[in-house]
A and B are shown apart, each in its own frame.
Chain A
Amino acid sequence: MSLLHLAILSPFLLALLVPIVYKYVRQIHTGWFVLFLPVLLFSYFFQFISETMGGHSVTKSISWIPSLGIDFTVKIDGLGLLFALLITGIGSLVVLYSIFYLAKDKEQLNTFYVYLLLFMGAMLGVVLSDNLIVLYTFWELTSFSSFLLIGYWYHKERSRYGAQKSMLITVLGGLSMLGGFVLLYLMTGTFRISEIINNAGDIFTSPLFIPAMLCILLGAFTKSAQFPFHIWLPDAMEAPTPVSAYLHSATMVKAGIYLVARLSPVFAPHSGLWLWLVAGVGLVTLLWGSFSAVKQTDLKGILAFSTVSQLGLIMSLLGVGAAALYYDHLDENIFIVATTAAVFHLINHATFKGSLFMVVGIVDHETGTRDIRKLGGLMHMMPITFTIAAIGTFSMAGLPPFNGFLSKEMFFTGMVRVLEMDIFNMQTWGFLFPMLAWIASIFTFIYSMILFFKTFTGKYKPAQLEKKPHEAPIGMLIPPVILASLVIIFGFFADSLLSDTLIAPAMASILPSLLNDSSKFFVEISYWHGFNIELMMTIGVIAVGTIAYLTFPKWKNIYKLFPEKRSINRLYDGSLELIQRSSNNFTNSYMNGFIRTYLVYIFIFFIGMLSITLSVKNALKITIDNAAPIGVYEAILAVIIAICAIAILFAKSRLTSIILLGSIGYTVALYFVLFRAPDLALTQLVIETVSVALFLLCFYHLPKINRKEERMGFRFTNALISVGVGVVITLIALSAHSNKLFDSISQYYIENTYEKAAGKNMVNVILVDFRGFDTMFEILVLGIAALGIFGMIKLRLTRRKDG
């Protein structure tokens, strides 16, 4: 086990220790003991930058299930490192924030940090695993820990609802993704991602290629809250704010993005479907998310839909960037910019969205509400929070000089260049891309402004607030301040700080086929591109957005076109209820509790299976060549048995039935006599006597009420089924007799009964000697039956309880 493995597993190890620390060190907030780990991990991962900058990657492997090709292989390349840094960096800030957010004496801190550490380790595992199955394992662990974190305040009904919803949707996607991974394995014969990427050239002709792609994309879309699977994210906002900031803005929801980026080299080069699906779904999500965010009144609701839309933006950029893989040369490849923008915006989004969530948490913490209709005029009370919020929202809206502006410009560039594509039918519908992107950006601008101005400017409404607002404690402010300063730093020095260190290596992982041995991506990020169409678009966004924001009350009614009744949430709730109700109805319809019905099922199945097998196998064959001649006695006995058996059906009294049954038993004993089986005859006689006596006993003890003597009712279906069973069994018996393939083995017994077992009664010798093992367990059965009867009759707990 290398240090790298230890780094990934260290959060799990620390999670083991947290409850102990929580129990014995009550004076100090448990978070302080957790904080050191993400910081340590961050600095550990930070030193890999020099490695990845040189275009190298680090791979370490320990075997786990080598016979199945499943090894815990860790690979650090540009993309994995970028995510690892995001996870540990934002993780440290979130832990610091949570120390001040969660009260020491009111919350169950041990469970919180255990879940959070589980999540952190799982997320590191997802982004650094080079083995698909290991990736899947960690992937489900993130779903699971996210479920636990959303339901952290489990006494609240909405938390449980949100946790269940996110669990169902992400696990649905996770399982489908596992299916996709298995299909990939079938096509390539390996679970190693790097090997799959190397073999990607051959697999696109396979019939499994498209199903694998769809399955994996479903996994990525559900995890990254893409349309229409975005519905779990707004409900996940019931989690504590540090969790929302960490999981539902910076890390977990980007797992799907990671997966798409990671597997782009496999699927993208040969398939227009990939481009259309990823970019299309991304754009729809972008538009729908930003559109829905505007109507929210809860701050976290706005941020949730904003996250949805920003994830859609990144996803669409990754989709468009896939076009770059279609051309296998680096020069003049104008579609690379989309991938650059995706990676860059990924970083930017983590910074500004993390800070915004923390701001919202502060506002919630200090005023007691997150409803923007109650908030307003907090600017003077919370100047620092206000500043952070300004930076965050303006960056989100895409205004200069923040980093959001840069990535939005590049986003527009990427979308505009779609127009120049002449592949995958892009020339016909490609114009939609920049148009939708532009409209979505306007909505983004509007909700950013709402978020900012409705909270911090306007009239201060102290009557509606539960607490008297004041500035947050310093500890709560440090993490958002760091993130906000990153927003500005990345805004001003993006090119020098990020492009070579993080973005170019990450792009090398997403678009590996474009690189030769020595070439590197050249990323240039700058404010000024000259007067071009992107700039016009940004100006347009600001102008139209400002007007729309100011006139928002006038066009608010447009949202009534999309009533709650017809939303996807309703669809989810309705289908969940429908599934429950219909499966309940289905179960109730056939599990009706009557043994008679179950017997009917069993016998119908029995008849069906046997007759189908008989006909399919052509086994029906009746010959009488080797039949013995029928004697008079056999015929008479057969007639007696038949008469008795039929008479039972029409007997009115139960006593008659019992006696008729007895006479059948004795006739069978006579048959044994006739067919020369004295042991059987003796046993049959005695046993029949005993069982008839027991039947009479039961008869005597029947309850007096409802003891009408009446004939068995006639049901046509029952008659049909019994005749069917009889016919099928008779046919099978006759066919089996006609199809005898081998001689009996009884010759051995005849020869050896005296020679080897010193007996002359062959039946008895078989019972106690040749096959004594059966006999041993048959007497055990008898013993169990006797003890069972004894227990049933003697042990009457209910009566004893009644006194």
Chain B
Amino acid sequence: MKSNDIILQTITKVTLFVIILFSIHLFFAGHYYPGGGFIGGLMTSGAIVLLLLAYDLKTVAKILPVDFKIVAAVGLLFAVGTGAGSLLFNVPFLTHAFGDMNIPLLGETSLHTATLFDLGVYLVVIGVTMTIIQTIGESE
């Protein structure tokens, strides 16, 4: 059955970026305002699910040629790597560091290794939700 989803698809094209931007906002705002890696990741995957609903699995796979299992694995690596990194400085596992730094393009920026950890969470959540939805969607 071939149906004409032009309205859905057009709206998707517009909303998608709004949702993704919102999710990125949630992710970065996490340390100061409600949000963080978990909900940000869920939002991003929500955007991709919307894409899946408007198009189909193959199209989305073409748009995002990513194996989401690897995304989850990379996320775990980030989380564990952030934790293990603190061992190099002779402090306990998962000790975070933060500080203001002068970065050429952005100027004076506050940086926090907890964000890297949160990035791991973010990637894992995207990877996991997308793997589950894709797998179930593909099965007959």
What residue of chain A has the Cβ atom nearest to residue B118's Cβ? A768
Residues of A within 8 A of B114 (CB): 757, 759, 765, 768-769, 772
Residues of A within 8 A of B117 (CB): 768, 772, 775-776
**Contact call A679/B39, Cβ cutoff below 8 A:** yes
20 contacts across the A-B interface (CB closer than 8 A): A679-B36, A682-B34, A687-B42, A690-B42, A694-B136, A757-B114, A758-B112, A764-B30, A764-B36, A768-B36, A776-B80, A779-B120, A779-B121, A779-B125, A782-B128, A783-B73, A783-B124, A785-B132, A786-B128, A793-B139
Q: Enumerate chain B residues within 8 angstroms of A782, measured Cβ to Cβ.
A: 72, 124-125, 128
Interface membership of B102, Cβ < 8 A: no
Task: Pick from B7-15, B55-63, B93-101 the stretch touching chain A.
Answer: B93-101
Q: A11 to chain B: closest CB distance in Å? A: 54
Residue of B with least CB distance to A759:
B31
Kindly list chain B residues whose C-beta atoms are within 8 Å of the C-beta of A779: 75-76, 79, 120-121, 124-125
Q: Which of B79-133 contact A (CB under 8 A)?
A: 79-80, 83, 93-94, 96, 98, 110, 112, 114, 117-118, 120-121, 124-125, 127-129, 131-132
Inter-subunit contact A789/B35 (CB<8 Å): no
**Any B CB within 8 A of the CB of A683:** yes
**Interface band, chain A:** 35 or more
**Count of CB-CB pairs between chains A and B under 8 Å:** 123
Q: Which residues of A contact B120 (CB under 8 A)?
A: 779
Complex contact A789–B132 (CB within 8 A): yes
Instruction: Kindly state whether residue A647 has any CB partner on chain B within 8 Å.
Output: no
Q: Is A622 an interface residue (CB 8 A)?
A: no
Q: A765 to B43, alpha carbons, bound, how many Å?
A: 20
CB–CB B135/A789 < 8 A: yes
Binary per-residue interface labels of chain A (677-697) against chain B in the complex, 1 for a CB within 8 Å, 0 otherwise: 011001100110010001001
- Counting chain B residues whose Cβ lies within 8 A of the other chain, the interface size class is 35 or more
Q: A759-B114, A769-B96 are in contact. Are A686 and B132 (CB under 8 A)?
A: no
The yes or no answer to A794 lying at the interface (CB within 8 A) is: yes
Q: How many angstroms from the CA of A348 to the CA of B125 in the assembled complex? A: 84
Contact between chains at A783 and B127 (CB < 8 Å): yes
- Residue in contact with B135 in the complex, picked from A763, A768, A790, CB distance below 8 Å: A790
Q: Which residues 744-803 of A have a CB within 8 angstroms of B?
A: 757-761, 763-765, 767-769, 772-773, 775-776, 779-780, 782-783, 785-787, 789-790, 793-794
CA–CA, A292 to B93, complex, Å?
Answer: 77
Enumerate the 5 nearest inter-chain pairs by beta-carbon distance, A residue then B residue, closest first: A678-B34, A786-B128, A759-B31, A779-B124, A760-B32
From residue 658 to 683 of chain A, which have CB atoms closer than 8 A to chain B?
A: 678-679, 682-683
Interface of A toward B, CB cutoff 8 Å: 678-679, 682-683, 686-687, 690, 694, 697, 757-761, 763-765, 767-769, 772-773, 775-776, 779-780, 782-783, 785-787, 789-790, 793-794
| Min distance, Cβ A721 to any Cβ of chain B, angstroms | 34
A679: chain B residues at CB < 8 Å are 34-36, 39
Asked if B128 contacts A794 (CB within 8 A), the reply is: no
- How many Å lie between the Cα of A456 and that of B35 in the bound state? 102
A690 to B48, CA, bound (A): 13
Indicate if the CB atoms of B39 and A682 lie closer than 8 Å: yes
Query: Could you tell me the distance between the alpha carbons of A278 and B30 in the complex, rounded to whole angstroms?
Result: 83
Q: Which of B29, B33, B76, B128 has the most CB of A within 10 A?
A: B128
A694 CA to B120 CA in the complex, in Å? 25
Contact of B34 among A761, A765, A783 (CB under 8 A): A761
- Distance A772 CA – B46 CA, assembled complex (angstroms): 25
Q: A677's closest neighbor in chain B, by CB?
A: B34
What separation, in Å, do the CA atoms of A425 and B121 have in the docked complex? 85
CB distance from A676 to the nearest CB of B (A): 10
Q: Once bound together, how far apart are the Cα atoms of A768 and B36, in whole Å?
A: 9
CA distance A758 to B80 in the complex (A): 21
What's the minimum C-beta distance from B8 to chain A, rounded to whole angstroms? 18
Pick from A764, A779, A782, A790 the residue with the most CB of B within 10 Å: A779
CB neighbours of A683 from chain B (8 A) = 38-39, 42
A761/B96 in contact, CB under 8 A: no
Q: How far is the CA of A776 from the CA of B117 in the complex (A)?
A: 9
Query: Would B36 and A789 count as touching, CB distance under 8 A?
Result: no
**Cα distance A765–B35 in the bound complex, in angstroms:** 11
Residue of A nearest to B92 (CB): A773
Contacts of A768 in B (CB 8 A): 36-37, 96, 114, 117-118, 121
Residues of chain A within 8 A of B29, CB atoms compared = 761
